[in-house]
Homo-oligomer: A and B are copies of this chain.
């Protein structure tokens, strides 16, 4: 197989070799349309950077890294990560980049992975998910000469690193206001892993908005699994003052809650309103269909990847709002007579 050169791509695209070089290295200097055309031709011809050149010059590894510090048993249940990864991948393929994925048991192992990847020049940059308060990963990646990184999460958690976020607090407030307007006075929230920063942000927004409308609301923590979501729901619904509406931190727990309600003989939405988060296709597969705080998870992943390429190309970082999840009322919520 003959090696494809930058000159081959330039000839095919009808541009200079310089323009090809800019485009392949993700640097400014060519228009977006030209860059996309060059990348498409490079992909078509099967171009790859010379490994020799790469190791000698410290040039691109054509790889970005993602570490998930989650237990395998909690990873497979939610569709969030696979959709998010699919979004990242949609930006990698046209650049002939691939994703180096590592699943580790805890944050310490994640830190070791970043150190190892940096020392061995395995990736050009990393995507950091599930940031926490005082996150040691943010501290490590904030050091001089650290790997270029994009934090997926709120600016308050990113410690000045480039971050892409969804406005979860606004979404929680919207869901509380919606349920309040519909006549609900006992509203609960079933949240995700308590150590994650965005869980805390959503918890605070929920408590504040409930106070604002003059209510007190209960929050039950989980590990995002269907089992923990079902347990939390059962506990809430069999308590002394059961809620008439519950807002969940993902979709599979909301689905499990529909099962628990049916098991307890409660009708959804007449006896219990349910709002899911993330709005995967599952939400439209249930009957009644799940009302959900909806955002484009695949598009979110793609956005994160584009910001990481900007960082890798040397552009200054920043804080980028991807979207505010919006409430899509479907069959599991209904107005309630006060």
Contacts and interface: CB of A to CB of B under 8 A. Distances in A.
Interface of A: 1, 3, 43, 46, 48-49, 51, 55, 62-63, 65, 72-73, 75-77, 79, 81-83, 85-87, 89-90, 92-93, 96, 98-105, 109, 112-113, 115-116, 119-122, 225-227, 229-230, 252, 255-256, 258-260, 262-263, 280-282, 284-287, 289, 297-298
7 contacts: A63-B122, A76-B281, A77-B79, A77-B280, A81-B82, A225-B281, A262-B287
A334 to B, nearest CB: 17
A1 B119 contact: yes
Contact of A284 (B92, B226, B285): B226
Contacts of A230: 285
A100 to B, nearest CB: 5
B282 A119 contact: no
Given A51-B121, A121-B51, A287-B262, A102 B89 contact: yes
Contact of A285 (B1, B55, B87, B252): B252
A225 B259 CA distance: 21
Contacts of A120: 48-49, 51, 62
Contact of A255 (B89, B115, B282, B289): B282
Given A51-B120, A115-B1, A282 B101 contact: no
**Interface core residue of A100, A227, A285, A286 (most chain B CB under 10 Å):** A285
Given A51-B120, A252-B285, A282-B77, A63 B100 contact: yes
Contacts of A89: 72, 101-103
Contacts of A1: 115, 119
A79 B83 CA distance: 11
Nearest to A71: B86
Contacts of A113: 98
